[in-house]
Amino acid sequence: MWGEGVDIKLKFSPKVCRRVKESVWHPSQVIVDLLDGGCVMTLRIGSIIEITPWIRGWGTEVEVLEPEELHERAIGEVKQMAEVYRVVD
């Protein structure tokens, strides 16, 4: 996926939305406020590899909406963490 450009869409909780809006994280970012006090950020980047650790750092305060590949990767990481901490369904 290098060089093609990947559209990313992230939903941030009301708890961190203010912090998200305080910085320019990427020149392509667009942030839209939600009625619940959260926000949605969209941006276009070169690869999902470089943004994955940054997204992970927001923990449960962010949800990956797009692309599906990144959404599924996030789900896989959550499942792996649940196994590490021996969380049962």
* Count of the separate structural domains present in the chain: 1
Would you tell me the crossing angle of helices 48-57 and 68-84 to the nearest 10 degrees?
A: 50
* CA 39 remoteness from chain centre: 12
pLDDT tens for each residue of 23-63: 999 999 999 999 999 999 999 999 888 899 999 999 999 99
Q: Contact at 8 Å (CB) between 32 and 81?
A: no
Q: By residue range, what is the domain housing residue 39? A: 6-84
Specify if 80 maps to a domain.
yes
Which pLDDT tens digit goes with each residue over 66-81? 999 999 999 999 888 8
Residue 47 phi/psi, 5-degree rounding, is -160, 145
Residue 1 resides in a domain: no
SS3 of 29, please?
coil
CATH number of the structural domain spanning residue 27: 3.30.70
pTM (2 d.p.) = 0.88
Does the residue 50 lie in any domain?
A: yes
Indicate whether 42 belongs to any domain. Answer: yes
